Structure 1
């Protein structure tokens, strides 16, 4: 009658020796060589500690209805016209002040509760002898992020353009992009830049100088800029017709750089360490088996008897 193996189990063999023996010393050395080198390899291969990470977020952006405009004219007409939504600035302009007609509309295209773009239109009245050769324009925004840290700031979009021929209309279409000189924190509330870009209550002309405004703004570690404005300068203005600025500013999805928290750093480091550790465990397990089975170090082999077999021996 043919016989088949119906059941099997491994026989466990132990090796006994004193705590001060060569075998115990070998095990201590093996443990050190198993667990410490993977840590050194992971650390020396760079990127062990996650120092910076990133994520995507649609910012919450709202136009603050603050505008500062400087229209550059020919020298025969005084050089420029200016206007802003700040009364103190307007009082400083004297004869250069010209009040335009402004209309704005923000649009939420995907209906997610966050605005996606701004439609801005400004009509600057001109005399028939006045001609616009360039424009400097500042628009301010409220800019917020919420997914990791709650980051709140007041930012701006600055645009300037000049041309050799007088224009009738300027069309601008660009993105309001986030610029970071340093990453944000992973949690908490960050309102360090939640201050006005333009000090609209100041009576001093220096506070409204564009070079001063831009220089102070660039000192920030986090700003917004108007990218790829693609200005289109249209010529042929009719007499008494206003100079028109049409701008479309989009609020795109942003990739936010941030400093990861403690547990995120540990999770990232642990994955690297364990992936290398598994190789060392496999190698040193076979080294230890070879050393003890071949009695490279002196031990007393002991075969562990399964509980069922031990019970049968006692019955017999």
Structure 2
């Protein structure tokens, strides 16, 4: 007749010994090695005790279609200019030169966040004019989802409105245009406009923040607990140190 399993449950076994035994000494040593070294290692080691953590976030960047252009047309201070601000254009008078502008923003990886801006500008010039330098101002909205509320914190101070407002006012988040590689090409024809082409990428932002030291200490402690729990299981189950195993179960009633 074939047999099959209809029910199973784990068996709990208690290992008992007297006070003055090697098993008791072993238990004391294991407890000390489980809790004391992790604290010392986490406190002294820069590898375990991480002072600051970091993560990457793709910012939400939008070109605001606000532009200011100043082009020097001589070495004597002559210039032409244009902007998207009507009041400034009115003040420019004869120096106002309206260009042709083309703007296109792209989402390369299709994640719903724009990755780069393609900006092209053609500035009409008189036959005797040349451009010696360019100053171009573009405005962007730049948003990072950096919360000042630590939702993982177990401390009430992390949710205090006064502390939240203070942290919001104290933080300093800014961005700069890095690694510009301008290429200036000479030889423009007399009747041709001055052309400016720019490609601005919106890279991932590296956000750094103070690490939660409590979490780090807990992580190290869990590692030591996992290791020494398996050491104890091996020692007692294989009777490396003499103890009295007592199965714990419900007594059978006849």
- Count of residues in Structure 1 that have an aligned counterpart in Structure 2: 225
Matched ranges for 1:166-245 at <5 A: 221-225=173-177, 227-245=178-196
SS of residue paired to 1:75? coil
1:269 offset after TM fit, Å?
Answer: 3.2
CA distance in 1, matches of 2:111, 2:246: 68
Render the CA deviation track for 1:210-243: whole Å, top value 9, x for unaligned. Answer: xxxxxxxxxx542131x33332222222223221
| Residue number among 217, 223, 236 corresponding to 1:269 in the alignment | 217
For residues 35 and 144 of structure 2, what CA distance do their matches in structure 1 show? Answer: 42
Structure 2 CA distance for aligned equivalents of residues 45 and 28 of structure 1: 25
How far residue 38 of structure 1 moved from its aligned partner, in angstroms, is 2.3
TM superposition shift of 1:71: 1.0
Cross-structure match for 2:84: 85
Structure with bigger strand share is 1
Label 1:191 to 1:87 Cα distance change in 2 as closer, same or farther (>3 A): farther
2:127 maps to 1:128: yes
**Aligned equivalent of 1:296:** none
1:62-101 aligned within 5 A: 62-76=62-76, 78-101=77-100
Tell me if the contact between 2:102 and 2:119 (Cα under 8 Å) persists in the aligned partners. yes
After superposition, the Cα gap between the structure-2 partners of 1:114 and 1:191, relative to the gap in structure 1 and judged at 3 Å, is farther
Instruction: Name the Cα RMSD after superposition.
Output: 4.4
TM-score scaled by length of structure 2: 0.65
Task: Give the superposition deviation at 1:245.
Answer: 0.8
SS in 1 for 2:101: strand
Q: Matched residues in 1 for 2:217 and 2:95: separation?
A: 62
For 1:67 and 1:124, the matched residues in 2 are separated by 13
* Residues in 1 aligned to 2:149 and 2:63: alpha-carbon distance in whole angstroms: 25
Q: Which stretches in structure 1 are left out of the alignment for 5+ residues?
A: 1-8, 151-183, 194-219, 294-300
| 1:14 paired residue number | 16
Residue 18 of structure 2 contacts residue 24 of structure 2 at CA under 8 Å; is this kept in 1? no
Q: SS at the partner of 2:119?
A: strand
Partner of 2:138: 139
Instruction: Note closer, same or farther for the CA distance 1:307–1:125 as it changes in structure 2 (3 Å cut).
Output: closer
Instruction: For residue 26 of structure 1, report the CA deviation from its aligned partner.
Output: 9.7
Matches within 5 A, 1:101-120: 101-120=100-119
Any idea what the Cα deviations from partners look like across 1:55-101, whole Å, max 9, x if unmatched?
A: 3333222110011112122135x432222222343344444332222
Q: Describe the SS at the equivalent of 1:259.
A: strand
- Give the equivalent residue in structure 2 for 1:196: none
- Show the counterpart of 1:256: 206
Q: Give the conservation status (yes or no) of the 8 Å contact 1:186–1:261.
A: no
Q: Deviations over 1:128-156 (max 9, x none)?
A: 1111011111111112234xx36xxxxxx
Alignment partner of 1:69: what SS? strand
Unaligned runs of 5+ in 2: 1-10, 152-163
Q: 1:13, 1:250 → 2: CA distance? A: 65
